[in-house]
Amino acid sequence: MAAEPIEVVRAQFDATNARDFARAMEMYAEDVVLVVSESWGLGSGRFESKEAVGEWFGDWFAQFADDYHFAFLETRDLGRGWVLLVAEHGGSGRTSGAPIGAESGYLYRVSDGKIDRVHLYPSPAEAREAAQNG
C-alpha cells in the first residue's frame, strides 16, 4: 500500500533534517516540477526534472551550516494528492555563522507515492492563498 501524501512529504523533510539528501531525493518523481514563487526572490523560477530540482535544493542548502533544520507548524491534506505544509526553518549561515530563520509555505503534490510537483512560497499566507485558489 502506498504511503499517504502527507507521510511522503514529512518523510522528505525528515530525511532533509537528517542530512540524508539522497534519501530525500528518493521521494521525488523523475519528472518532478519545482515552482519557486517570484516573491521568493533570488532563485525563483520553474525547475523541471529530479536532477534540476536536486541542483536547486543543493544550491540553496549550500548557503547554510549543518545545523539548518525544519519544524512542521501545519500540514494539511488538500485532497487529490496535494499537501499544504507550513514550516519554520533556521540555523546558521555557512560562512558568516549568523543565525537565519523564517517561516515558509509549501504545496506538494504526490502521485504514485512520489512527489511530482512542489510550489515554494516565502510566506505561509501565500501558500494558503494558492491552496484556496486551487
Per-residue pLDDT tens for 41-97? 878 999 999 999 999 999 999 999 999 999 999 999 999 999 999 999 999 999 999
Q: Which fold has domain 5-132?
A: Nuclear Transport Factor 2; Chain: A, (3.10.450)
Confidence of residue 1 (pLDDT cuts 50, 70, 90): low
Confidence of residue 134 (pLDDT cuts 50, 70, 90): confident
pLDDT of residue 42: 75
pTM of model > 0.75: yes
Q: Where are the domains of the chain?
A: 5-132
What is the chain's mean pLDDT, rounded? 95
Enumerate long-range contacts of 120-129, CB under 8 Å, 24 or more apart: 120/34, 120/35, 120/36, 120/37, 120/40, 121/37, 121/39, 121/40, 122/37, 122/39, 122/40, 122/41, 123/39, 124/73, 124/74, 124/86, 126/37, 126/39, 127/84, 127/85, 127/86, 128/84, 128/86
